[in-house]
Amino acid sequence: MNIGKTKFLPIFFRREGDPGLRRLAIHSCGDLRSAACGCDEVERVQQYCYLGVTIDSKLSWTSHVVNVKRRLRKLFICLLAACMGADRGSVQDFDIAGSYDAMLPDAECLRVVSEILSDLKLSAYVIKVNHRLLLDGIFETCGVPADKFRTICSAVDKLDKVGLPSEVADRIGEYVRLNGRQDLIDKLAGDVTLMASKSAGAGLDAMRTLLKYVNLYGITDRISFDLSLARGLDYYTGVIYEAVLQGEAVGSIAGGGRYDNLVGMFHAKKKTVPCVGISIGVERIFSVMEARNMKIRTSEVQVYVATAQKNLAEERMKLCRVLWDAGFNVEHSYKLNPKLLVQLQHCEESGIPVAVILGESEIQRGVVKLRVIATREEKEIPCDELTAELGSYLKGLTNPDPITSS
């Protein structure tokens, strides 16, 4: 038994609760009755996740439902944050369908994913690109039978396991180690043997055009033309993409490419609908954010109007009107007499940067209390100076983005 991977979860149903079983030890000493022998104890837990189901000591579903809701909520706010940053119609999947001139939509897909990953501010990233026709030309040049092209695409990183002759695998290996940008285009164009393949020539021409377009979009420094990129799915027919975070062992966080024949497979008349698209790996992105303890704003509200005593709902509404008219994104509680602590906790959970607090004393003196949520600093401001003070503070925020690190 691996003591480090073993957990102890007592299950009981009695009304009085825990039956008193406090410890469980793995006795290597032979004395099963000794409580002070120093043998390893199995860690006791109150709940445990097994095969995706959270089990607790009462075999209730409460813990499992809470964990699932928490996970779904975090996934939702991760998507919401990406939407705020990218300002595109779809975040998890972005596709362009229709017949257009070569590489124009393909290059825009790269621009879209670059915007999303840049706005998420995770870390440095690189988007690898390659072309299926170029890969097919490489396989053809190296002596791979045509019926094995797709198999090899799925195993470029383990050629020794797909039954290829060693000399063929070695030749492919020399190509798939190459990466670069325009320099790689020039190098491959000078490879007479490779350029004898029509497929390789067509793929290289397409990559030359793609790199020219991404340069016009200003993202050349984010792109790597990488011959090791294959993406094993059979339906890719042209350019292929894959985005990775540098220095993170999470694999690709986005991937996609051109799939001109896939939609036609499901069309009643087998009509060809050229498509290109890319998908964002939300789960992997979220795992990185969670590991870094990154907090995500779930609201674009700038100011929260709170009250410290009862019967001040109308005063809240008057102040909200003033701030709305001044152009601020403002929110307040929909309860007549909310507790101040609950209102401030809402600000912290939602990432609202500022709260304006009203109390009977403040109203009588013609002032409000301005509270910075992150630091909990407070100061009183005359009501007629509030909009100017808020505008100055919000303009000076060093990190107004929807994602912050704690």
Q: What is the mean pLDDT of the chain?
A: 81
Same-domain check for residues 204 and 312? no
CB 264 within 8 A of CB 249: no
Q: How many other CB atoms are found less than 10 A from the CB of residue 346?
A: 19
Round to whole Å and give the CA distance between 123 and 285.
Answer: 11
Reading the block at residue 400, the tokens are 């107004």
Question: When comparing pLDDT for 6 and 167, which is higher?
Answer: 167
We report the CATH number of the domain holding residue 138 as: 3.30.930.10
108 inside domain: yes
Residue 406 — pLDDT band, cuts 50, 70, 90?
A: very low
Say which residue the tokens 């301005």 belong to: 370
For 331-376, write each residue's pLDDT tens digit. Answer: 999 999 999 999 999 988 888 999 999 999 999 999 999 999 888 8
CB 394 within 8 A of CB 353: yes
Same-domain check for residues 142 and 252? yes
Where is 88: in which H helix or E strand? none
- Listed in sequence order, the residues at least 6 apart from 248 whose beta carbon sits closer than 8 Å to its beta carbon are 122, 123, 288
252-258 and 275-280 strand pairing: antiparallel
- CA 120 → CA 161, 196, 309, 404, distances in Å? 38, 43, 39, 10
Query: Of 222, 257, 292, which one is at a domain's C-terminal end?
Result: 292
Type of residue numbered 129: V
66 inside domain: no
Instruction: Kindly state the average pLDDT of the residues 194-218.
Output: 95
Round to whole Å and give the CA distance between 113 and 243.
Answer: 8
303-307 and 330-332 strand pairing: parallel
Same-domain check for residues 284 and 364? no
pTM, full prediction: 0.59
Where is 354: in which H helix or E strand? strand 354-358
Same-domain check for residues 162 and 247? yes
Instruction: Kindly state the average pLDDT of the residues 376-384.
Output: 91
303-307 and 354-358 strand pairing: parallel
Question: When comparing pLDDT for 61 and 296, which is higher?
Answer: 61
For 267-325, write each residue's pLDDT tens digit. Answer: 677 788 889 988 888 778 877 877 777 666 666 889 999 999 999 999 999 999 999 99
pLDDT at 224 over 60: yes
Rg (C-alpha) for the chain, rounded Å, is 30
Say which residue the tokens 């030309």 belong to: 137
The domain of 317 spans 303-398
Q: How many other CB atoms are found less than 10 A from the CB of residue 322?
A: 14
